[in-house]
Amino acid sequence: MNPTIERLQSHRSIRKFTDQKIPREAFETFIRAGQSAATSNHVQAYSIIHVVNPENRRKLAELAGGQAYVVDSSDFLVFCADMKRSTEAAERAGAEVIRGMTEQLLVASIDTALMAQNIAVAAESEGVGLCYIGGIRNDPAQVSEILRLPEHVYPVFGMCLGYPDQNPEVKPRLPLAAILKEDYYLDHQDQSLVAEFDNTMRTYYAARTGGTKDTTWSEQLKPLFTSKLRPHMREFLLGKGFEMK
């Protein structure tokens, strides 16, 4: 295994950072590496807000569910799906633009994720740790207000970047056979593979907590699906011009 793949496989979220700042040059290199990711039809449907203002970081940390590392990390980014720049460019070139297609929401969200993951990989290759902040979608309307996001731009997730001040274990993943299928989506084996993974996670949680945390993957998923997770997202996206037509 080459060092790049070793790095990829040793990824874990970092939520405690030293005071050391990422040099600006390295930071920009990470962003450029992000831009190098594939992009649907070259549309590059993303923008990144680099949140420097301490008061705004404090507010965003709170909105994300009280995540202190949004404040304490060296750099905090909000990744936005951006259909504004490209559609306006096409308009200036004379196009009668159609907006609000479901496909556009997908393209922009996927473009943004591919770019962000390249940034994550680049950062980790330089010893920088990170965690994604999905909690940015807890209150995307207020996040948008703080960051002054216009129509046709929505905040997909945040990312904390900095030098790790902790060394957490790598979290196990589903068995390969559960997610990789040949030719057809056959899931007759999935129940036993999930059961196997439930055991893996039970062992993992027990080991990390000296036996006090007794739970499984399936158990941990329950609260995610029994409540209406972020039920505001539909209305929020509609209001931002992502009409899912």
Residues 52-81 that bind its own copies (CB under 8 A): 52-53, 56, 80
72 or 205: CB nearest its own copies:
205
Which DSSP letter does residue 184 get? S
Residues 195-224 that bind its own copies (CB under 8 A): 198, 216-222, 224
Taking CB under 8 A as the criterion, the residue among 71, 110, 141, 206 binding its own copies is 110
Residues 167-196 that bind its own copies (CB under 8 A): 170-171, 173-174, 176, 178-187, 190-191, 194
Question: Could you count the other beta carbons within 10 Å of the beta carbon of residue 242?
Answer: 25
CA atoms of 55 and 199, how far apart (whole Å): 43
Q: For residue 158, which of 34, 67, 40, 23 has the smallest C-alpha distance?
A: 67
Q: For residue 104, which of 87, 117, 121 has the smallest C-alpha distance?
A: 87
Residues 28-57 that bind its own copies (CB under 8 A): 28-33, 35-38, 40-44, 46-53, 56
What is the closest distance, in whole angstroms, from the C-beta atom of residue 153 to its own copies in the complex?
Answer: 6
What is the closest distance, in whole angstroms, from the C-beta atom of residue 156 to its own copies in the complex?
Answer: 7
